[in-house]
Structure 1
Amino acid sequence: MEQELMRILTGGWVAQATFAAVRLGVADTLHGRRLAPEQIAEEVGADPGALRRLLRLLAGVGLAYADDKERYGLTPMGAQLRREALGPLAALYGEDYFAAAWGGLAHAVRTGEPAFEHVHGKPVFAHLAGDHDKAAVFNAGMAAGASFFRHVPAAYDFSGPRRVVDLAGGTGALLAAVLRENPEARGVLFDVPDVIAAAPAHLERMGVLDRCELAGGDLFDSVPEGGDVYLLSRVLHDWDDERCAVLLTNCAKAMAPGAELLVIERVVGRDSYLPLAFDLHMMVMTGGRERTEAEYRALMEEAELTPGRLLDLPLGMRLLTATR
């Protein structure tokens, strides 16, 4: 019992060790290789003795391994810390302003107010808007954490000449994943103008820019009309029930009869550790929350939408459909 408690109490130290390894580029250096600590230290610019101690802990928690010559390599889980995988998400979670916000968790629990605003003096998105470098790390982390996007076209049938509208879709990672698997479909990417301005380069790299319409605006004012399918991924958890009701009502107003809304979120309930952890994370960062299936269905019904299927996706994500 005491051992398990100590594991929980020191979990933050393991996370910080992981963040440090990502910042140093250890996972990228070790990709496909086994190297001695001295070799790794030379490549990443670190003290060999200190790096050896870091590597031992990474091996102790299953992110790395050492052979009989003390050459270190990556386990399959550790390989996910590369830049091309979940490394940018680890870098985001390791940002100082994230840790500082979590220091305000007790305040959030006492008052119900977002910890981030209490600690930093402004909401998280306003905080990011004033710092291009932080915003870049945030956007890269969100993109890395969206690796489940590639599974969405397999979970839901987008086939045919359909108009797919991605609401608050960032630079279009999810929309691009859908369009690449469905060559007859066309897309509309909708987000705030500053975000939309950065989208064309990404959509062009993904080879779908010629099938995309870009639209800037505010979800809480209105959303584009005329879509066959609307995507709303990791948006509702940012907001309280009142704001979600406004957003979903705007979706319902824009949707023609037969159009379908796909809400992608973590759902509290089955396999609930990650949704529960992210529920506290949203309380800290935005004042939002993760919800149960029943709570999402109630929000949809309040907006005069009819909830439908609940589909499983990787990383604890789920897809809930609704029709006008």
Structure 2
Amino acid sequence: MVLCPVIRKLVGKRVVLASASPRRQEILNSAGLRFEVVPSRFKETLDKAAFSTPYEYALETAKQKALEVANRMNKKDFRSPDVVIGADTIVSVDGQILEKPADKQHAYSMLSRLNGKEHSVFTGVAIVLCSTKDKQLETEVFEFYEETKVKFSDLSEELLWEYIHSGEPMDKAGGYGIQSLGGMLVEYVHGDFLNVVGFPLNHFCKKLVELYYPPSKDAIHHVKHDSVPSVETFEVLSDEESGSSNSTQQNVTSMLKGESAFSCGDPGSLRKKEVAQHVSGEPMANCSENVENQAPFPTILIELLDGFKASKAMFVACKLKVFDLLKGKDILKAKDVAAHINASVCGIERLLDACTALELLNKTNEGYSNTELANKFLVSDSEYSLHGFIIHANDYVWQFFTHLESAVKEGTNQNHQIFEKKAQNLFQDTFYHSRETKLRFMNAMHCIIKVTARDVATAFDLSGFRSACDLGGCTGALAHVLVQEYPDLHVTVFELPDVIENISCFQPLGQGSSRITFTPGDFFKDNIPKADLYILSRILHDWSDDKIDILLSKISDTCKPGSALLVAEIVLGEEKISPPRAVLQSLSMTEGKQRSSSEYKQLLEKYGFTWVQTKMTGNFLDVLLGFKKTTHNSELSNFGF
């Protein structure tokens, strides 16, 4: 698959699709791309007459869609997107552009014009790369388009109206969907079929490869012809094919610096004609005879070997409150940091240099200072601090992974090895056995919820609900974001009494707090509060099938038709080998398990929830929403379904 190597480059990046089209989402999901969906609010009112060709109109519309989303997210979110993808598909016949029909009569007019004729389907795609400098958004736009020729058969008026009455034409460019009933109208397709569906995946993949794997200088060589002057041509070589020590060293340096491959190459190449590639049977000039037999440098393995060292360096720096000392614009020398935390100057200097290499700190002649990333996420009292979650990873998760070999052999968690006793109840015996450990665990969960809450709350439009119950909602961090996003929503946080008695340590004094209620109880044993919407955030993966049966049965019995269940979890890919954080988390050997989107869908449907949809947010958690079975689809209209 051409996209596979590129997908690894996108891990950890916030990729956004600026389109609500379910066809585009399905196409990109099938390619293994993880992204979140933020539909563009750009009003498609560009003057078509101002463009000399139909594809220029599609390109400009795609670009404006993507830029609108990029700018809106930069203003709204604490974390701007890294990549925004915009697309616009149009149909062109007899020199006129056809978009989506406004009504059935408009659809009939469109289809009549296409009847028995060949037409063009254009999709313009804009890839917007985003970065921030001094809190100002900077963008770089790469564009391309794809054209596919489609011919309709000669169709009767009766058949056209029958198709229109099916409702399928109403949200599709040109008034037909080739992947569904509309396929019966088509006599032939010349070109990319998926382009007609709504997104030219093959061309998109090739452009990503151009961005991430630009040709190296060593790949450009002169080819002499008898009748024409010497020209430069190039072959794009993979890491394994090139075997160049210079290229390898550049790749390793780039990875250590964390540089995005999007910054490489000639941005203008996307709008230029493709450069012809010349494949020569002769060896490339200046290549060593042994190059083709040389094993490629195992960069990925080296990164994995050093991965645990990098994690531990960050853990220790957080535990010693190094980032707290350097917060804001403070610049300190190693001896000053050592004096503050009562540590050796030699040891601290090496730790600070390691954090600088990991791009967590900046180093100048004056001393060390935090990067923007560290100020935002590693300072313990910052708004979106992950400090508590990192301490949890150091004190508990790290300890567990030192016993991973035993866990794999036995197929069970190793809490008894860490805590020197068998845990009968995961939370009571492991995290709630003392007030200190309880507060530490609550702080860890509070940190991760704050960072993920906005994406969880806005993955779907929840404005149609009036009451919600966050089961196991811990400190109420998600509830606070929900009431901010939805002014008419009241949220009940249903948690263990031991947790609720300590929530005062974490409560913000924010707008909407009066619409949040904390109710003590155990969702396995007690009756749960009634609500229109139930929320399970990071709950299901921890529990056995028997416990899940108790919980979901209770929610299903309490729900009335039209009520809904929202689940936030790390969702596995269908092959269950990605994303890595989900697969690695499964090694914790809890009684529960990680699930794919289809497995969660089947699970929710088993307990009477239908219309189950999944949104890949691009953040730490993905989100699913399902509705309790109802005999009237109109009950779901308030939620856009």
Cα distance in 2 for residues equivalent to 1:251 and 1:269: 26
Give the counterpart letter for 1:287 in structure 2: E
Q: Which of 270, 278, 302 is the matching residue for 2:585? A: 278
Distance 1:261 1:190 in 2: 15
CA contact under 8 A between 1:310 and 1:321: conserved in structure 2?
Answer: yes
Q: Is the 8 A contact 2:465 2:532 kept in 1?
A: no
Check if 1:87 corresponds to 2:387. Answer: yes
Q: Match of 2:369?
A: 73
State the 1:263 CA deviation: 0.2
Contact 1:189 1:213 in 2 (8 A): yes
Whether 1:23 and 2:326 are equivalent positions in the alignment is: no
- Provide the residue aligned with 1:54 in structure 2: 351
Moved more, 205-214 or 251-260: 205-214
TM-score normalised by the chain length of structure 2: 0.47
Q: Which has the higher contact order (CA 8 A, sep 6+)?
A: 1
Change in CA separation of 1:240 and 1:118 when aligned onto 2, cut-off 3 Å: farther
**Aligned match of 2:115:** none
Paired letter, 2:435: H
Partner of residue 342, structure 2 = 45
Go from structure 1 to structure 2 and tell me whether the alpha carbon gap of 1:201 and 1:143 turns closer, same or farther (over 3 Å shift): closer
SS at match of 2:591: coil
Aligned to 2:434: 131
Query: 1:122-147: per-residue Cα shift (whole Å, max 9, x none)?
Result: 33421222222122111111111121
Residue in structure 2 matching 1:122, options 414, 418, 422: 422
Tell me, in whole angstroms, the C-alpha distance in 2 between the residues paired with 1:182 and 1:3: 47
Match of 1:226 among 530, 536, 557: 530
Counterparts of 1:59 and 1:201, CA distance in 2: 33
2:570 partner SS: strand
Residue 289 (str. 1) matches residue 588 (str. 2): no
State the partner residue of 2:405. 106
**Where do 1:1-324 residues align within 5 Å?**
1=297, 4-33=300-329, 34-67=331-364, 69=365, 71-79=367-375, 80-83=377-380, 84=382, 85-95=385-395, 97-120=396-419, 121-123=421-423, 124-125=426-427, 126-146=429-449, 147-159=451-463, 162-199=466-503, 202-203=506-507, 205-269=509-573, 272-281=579-588, 283=589, 286-324=590-628
Structure 1 residues 50 and 321: alpha-carbon distance in aligned structure 2, compared to 1, 3 A threshold: same
Deviations 1:106-162 (A, max 9, x none): 222222222224543233421222222122111111111121102333222232660
- 8 Å CA contact 1:36, 1:72 repeated in 2: yes
Q: Deviations over 1:242-291 (max 9, x none)?
A: 3222211111111111001000000011861222222223x2xx332221
Report if the CA contact (8 A) 2:455-2:619 is conserved: no
Deviation of the 1:59 alpha carbon: 1.2
Give the fraction of aligned pairs with identical amino acids, expressed as a percent: 28
- Aligned-residue RMSD, C-alpha: 2.3
> Residues 164 and 186 of structure 1 are in contact (CA less than 8 Å); yes or no, is this contact kept in structure 2?
yes
Query: Which is richer in helix?
Result: 1
- Alignment-mate amino acid for residue 86 of structure 1: L
Matched position secondary structure for 1:291: coil
Counterpart Cα distance in 2 of 1:51 and 1:158: 49
The verdict on how the C-alpha distance between 1:313 and 1:223 changes in structure 2, with shifts beyond 3 A counting, is farther
Alpha-carbon distance between aligned partners in 2 of 1:225 and 1:19, rounded to the nearest angstrom: 39
Distance of aligned partners of 1:307 and 1:101 in 2 relative to their CA distance in 1, 3 Å threshold: farther
Counterpart amino acid of residue 105 in structure 1: L
Consecutive unaligned residues in structure 2, runs of 5 or more: 1-296, 629-641
Give 3-state SS (helix, strand or coil) of 1:16's partner: helix
2:608 is paired with a residue whose SS is coil
Shift in Å at residue 72 of structure 1?
1.4
- Post-superposition shift, 1:191? 1.2
Q: How much has 1:222 moved relative to structure 2?
A: 4.7
Provide the rounded CA distance (Å) in 1 between the counterparts of 2:353 and 2:339: 17
| Residue type at the aligned position of 1:231 | I
Mapped to 2, the partners of 1:90 and 1:201 lie a distance apart of 19
**Letter of the structure 1 residue corresponding to residue 545 of structure 2:** D
After superposition, the C-alpha distances for 1:299-319 in whole angstroms (9 at most, x for unaligned) are 112222225111133433111
C-alpha distance in structure 1 between counterparts of 2:563 and 2:430, whole Å: 36
Task: Decide whether aligned partners of structure 1 residues 152 and 7 sit closer, same or farther in structure 2, where only a CA change above 3 A counts.
Answer: closer
Preserved CA contact (<8 Å) 1:102 1:116: no
Aligned-residue offset at 1:229: 1.0
Separation (CA, whole Å) in 2 of partners of 1:310 and 1:161: 19
Determine the structure 1 residue equivalent to 2:265: none
Deviations for 1:196-237, whole angstroms, at most 9, x for unmatched residues? 223366456334442233322222235524311111100001
Greater mean deviation of Cα atoms: 197-206 or 234-243: 197-206
Residue 134 of structure 1 aligns to which amino acid in structure 2?
T
CA separation of 1:257/1:118 partners in 2, compared to 1, >3 Å: closer, same or farther? farther
Task: Give distance in 2, aligned partners of 1:153 and 1:7.
Answer: 35
Change (3 A) 1:93 1:228: same
1:177 counterpart letter in structure 2: V
Could you tell me how far 1:58 is from its partner in structure 2? 1.0
Query: Do the aligned partners of residues 106 and 307 (structure 1) sit closer, same or farther apart at CA in structure 2, a change above 3 Å counting?
Result: farther
TM-score, length of structure 1 as denominator length: 0.89
**Could you tell me whether the CA contact under 8 Å between 2:446 and 2:475 is conserved in 1?**
no
Contact 2:355 2:361 in 1 (8 A): yes
Return the alpha-carbon distance in structure 2 between the equivalents of residues 118 and 253 of structure 1.
Answer: 40
Q: Number of paired residues?
A: 319
Residue 625 of structure 2: SS of its match in structure 1? strand
Residue identity opposite 2:324 in structure 1:
D
Residues 323, 232 of structure 1: alpha-carbon distance in 2 compared, 3 angstrom cutoff: same
